[in-house]
Chain A
Amino acid sequence: GAGVSQSPRYKVTKRGQDVALRCDPISGHVSLYWYRQALGQGPEFLTYFNYEAQQDKSGLPNDRFSAERPEGSISTLTIQRTEQRDSAMYRCASSSYDSGDGSRTDTQYFGPGTRLTVL
């Protein structure tokens, strides 16, 4: 089956513009995560959803960043009034949460990422 897909793969925008990044998770996956990754760094957690509910958004840098997953499948990460410091690789991952024995067994499957460049 298809893996996680993200679009666009590359986005170049001017400072002050809004951008919307899309993530299409693996079909049936309950959880969806958004990360930001700077060059040479590990993925930095932004937010995540279980189904359509946003479980945690503590990683979103400020209120210019928002995310939604209205039908529990596709998700959109929106950045308003972009700034140059927003330039990074934005990655999405999905997983099939399994708590059958009370423990978390999330195995996350990552998409190819969206490279955002703010000029």
Chain B
Amino acid sequence: LAKTTQPISMDSYEGQEVNITCSHNNIATNDYITWYQQFPSQGPRFIIQGYKTKVTNEVASLFIPADRKSSTLSLPRVSLSDTAVYYCLVGEGETGGSYIPTFGRGTSLIVHP
């Protein structure tokens, strides 16, 4: 099974850049890496997705090294509203085969004033 490993928790302060790294040693060739954000009492919400190198959108950046065995979610200048749990998701399975999304345990990010 493709498993992910993330830090359980992180603390930061408003205005700082936060980097959360996820390890996924068994990632399959055709798998994408997807990060989700979850606030209390809500379902996970898509943040960013990538396959290799770097991806950037209006919310975050995702850095993926050449071996794809890890990925780093970067949140620039966090605010209090970024306090949430962040999940790294790596699909398991082959193209056309069974796809079992495996969420990591998540990283609980707390942003302090």
Binding site for B on A (CB under 8 A): 31, 33, 41-45, 48, 55-56, 58-59, 91, 93, 99, 102-113
Contact = CB atoms under 8 A, between A and B. Distances in A.
Contact of B87 (A42, A103, A109, A111): A42
Contacts, number: 69
Nearest to B105: A42
From DSSP, what is the main secondary structure of chain A's interface residues? loop
A108 B101 CA distance: 10
Contacts of B44: 43, 93, 108, 110
Interface of B: 30-32, 34, 36, 42-46, 49, 51, 85, 87, 91, 93, 95-96, 98-106
Nearest to A56: B98
A106 B51 contact: no
